Amino acid sequence: MTALLEVRGVSKRFGGVVANANVSLNVPEGAIIGLIGPNGSGKTTLFSSIVGQHAIDSGSILFQGNEISKLRVSEIARSGLLRTFQQTRIYGQMDCMRNMLISTPDTSAGLLSMLSRHSAEEQEEAERLLDFVGLYEKRFLMAGDLSFGQQKLLEFAMALMNKPKILLLDEPTAGINPTLINGLIDRLKRANKEIGITLFVIEHNMRVIMNLADHIYCLAHGEILADGSPEAIKDDRRVIEAYLGAS
Amino acid sequence: MGLIAAFGAPIFLPFMTTQIAFLWMMVVFALCWDIMGGQMGYNSFGNIFFFGIGAYVCAVIQRDSGLDWYVAFFLGFGAAAILGVLCAAILGAGILGLRGQYFAICTLGLGIAGGEIASGWDYIGAGSGLSPPLFPGALGMREMFFNYLFLTLALVCFFTLKRVYSGRFGLAINAIRDDEDKAEAMGLRTTRYKIVAWCISAFFVAMCGAAAGNMIGFIDPRDVAFAGVTFGVWMVLMAILGGKGTLWGPVLGALVFHITQELFWTYLLGWQRVALGLLIVVIVVFFPTGILGWLRERRTMSTSGGSEQ
């Protein structure tokens, strides 16, 4: 498997705080890769660096073999690398269907396509994906009126609508009702298998990430502490110490 | 029904033709402000800038072209629209990167700067203003002409917006209003959508300026062309009064506002500014979501949380 996303020696500091130090990792095409680590270990910072939300201090980030660390957020997103947010972000004053329709890829740059309407296929696709995450019945409700868990599902569906090559998910199951979590794991796996979207997932819920990921990286104090298969990570002494705070 | 009333109004109320023409202009003002302020969440206090540009461009072409009145006027009218859009595109590229209140303050400066420049520039009459050539038609024709011109403008504006709001553009500017960072993270070309929104706004407002300069008959740099404290503020008020972020809200707001204001002038002469000030306070305190928003809230309350639309 070739690397779809490659992070090489990325460092990022905020003032005196080193958020990421010399982080390197690979996300192969078609895989589901996990990223774990204690609170404040720099996981979300790494995501923000990858999607171009802030400049990195050193290192390089390659997506499909192209350097993207100098590109802007929306350019990176259009190239097929998308993220979801830990605190969900949806368009609260718009109904779910409209949230979905505006999430179609912004491919064509022309004025005409900006002023055009959405095709019947796009409408169908939006309905199909809302059905996929179980929000079809709520499609004409204001997104802002949905519960937090439903907003997470909507955000996931919006990301799928954008047809990304790789999706960076920041704690997809945080705040979701435990009974829904299994359904979500199943949907993430199906998105990966059936639609072929590579997933790179930050997750605190060990049961979820052990079930989901093919390979896991563990971040602590901004550095990659360990990586390996879920089984290897689970038994790794350093990972357990980082989480339990043993010295 | 409404259309018949709109077209027939000057015939049934001939003495009010000019007032009705102003009403259509107010409708365009409110609709155009709402593209940015309501639908996109970018409060612009600078739309009056395009009004001033339109007024001057048209008047200068009428003054210097030496053509027949109608030819010169429509030439100026078109040129005003084009120049307005150009200004919006160039200025937008510069200042639409600003967010929220920074953008608002910046546009506030734009209108003031326009007035100052115009009142210091001799070519366009400087502080003593500019008078467009007199309308050639018979008595009473002038009012009719501008009335129907503004009515057409308001209708074209309304249906253009109705069309573009129902497409990708409308969704995109709503998305920018709700969460611009998210829109960018989803790959939307946000800056481009913002500039197009401002250009549409400028297009109609500049044409209003071109026609209004002629209808009023005299272009004062600060009191007519770049009238930030009257037209400039009214645009915002009317959209908020009717319900910003909706298509009918600004139309309704313009109707209510203009009629109220005329009543103030008629019955509270001397106190009309005070009454207007009170009206503003009442709008902001009791109708923060506008008349349409207020009605909608009441309706959802009575149907106990039924889905909207």
- DSSP line for A91-131: -TTSBHHHHHHTTS-----SHHHHHPPPPHHHHHHHHHHHH
CB atoms under 10 Å from CB of B266, counted, come to 9
What is the residue range of B135's domain?
21-232
Report if residue B239 sits inside a domain: no
User: In chain B, which residues have their Cβ closer than 8 Å to the Cβ of A44?
Assistant: none
Confidence of residue B309 (pLDDT cuts 50, 70, 90): very low
Angle of helix B2-12 relative to helix B17-34, nearest 10 degrees, comes to: 140
CB A115 within 8 A of CB B168: yes
Separation between Cα atoms, residue B75 and residue A53, nearest integer Å: 47
User: Would you state the pLDDT for residue A242?
Assistant: 81
User: In chain A, which residues have their Cβ closer than 8 Å to the Cβ of B183?
Assistant: 91, 102
| pLDDT (tens digit per residue) in B209-230 | 999 999 998 888 888 888 878 8
More confident position, B11 or B110:
B110
Separation in Å, CA of A52 to nearest CA in chain B? 9
Separation between Cα atoms, residue A125 and residue B291, nearest integer Å: 36
Per-chain mean pLDDT for chain B: 87
Nearest to B265 by CA among B6, B14, B22: B22
Report if residue B292 sits inside a domain: no
First to last CA, chain A: 37
Question: Hey, is the C-beta of B166 within 8 angstroms of any chain A C-beta?
Answer: yes
CB atoms under 10 Å from CB of A16, counted, come to 5
β-strand A58-63 against A66-67: which pairing, if any?
Answer: antiparallel
SS3 A203: coil
CB distance A85–B182 less than 8 Å? yes
Alpha helix (H) residue ranges in chain A? 43-50, 73-78, 96-101, 111-115, 120-132, 148-161, 178-190, 206-212, 230-235, 237-244
User: In chain A, which residues have their Cβ closer than 8 Å to the Cβ of B166?
Assistant: 117
Report if residue B155 sits inside a domain: yes
- Both tokens assigned to A146: 């949905």
Single-letter amino acid, residue A199: L
Q: Kindly report the CATH number that applies to the domain delimited by A3-91+164-244.
A: 3.40.50.300
Confidence of residue B13 (pLDDT cuts 50, 70, 90): confident
| pLDDT (tens digit per residue) in A138-191 | 989 999 999 888 898 899 999 999 999 999 999 888 878 888 888 888 889 999
CB distance B174–A93 less than 8 Å? yes
Task: Report the residue from B168, B179, B188 with minimal CB separation from A117.
Answer: B168
Question: Hey, is the C-beta of B190 within 8 angstroms of any chain A C-beta?
Answer: yes
CB distance A93–B190 less than 8 Å? no
Q: What percent of chain B has pLDDT over 90?
A: 39
Largest CA distance in chain A: 61
Confidence of residue A98 (pLDDT cuts 50, 70, 90): very high
- Both tokens assigned to A40: 């404040």
CB distance A102–B168 less than 8 Å? yes
Angle of helix B100-118 relative to helix B47-65, nearest 10 degrees, comes to: 30
Separation between Cα atoms, residue A116 and residue A102, nearest integer Å: 12
CB distance B178–A92 less than 8 Å? yes
Largest CA distance in chain B: 65
Counting the structural domains of chain B, the total is 1
ipTM of the complex: 0.86
| pLDDT (tens digit per residue) in B23-70 | 999 999 999 999 999 999 998 888 999 999 999 999 999 888 888 888
User: Would you state the pLDDT for residue B57?
Assistant: 93
Eight-state DSSP code of residue B167: S
User: Would you state the pLDDT for residue B141?
Assistant: 84
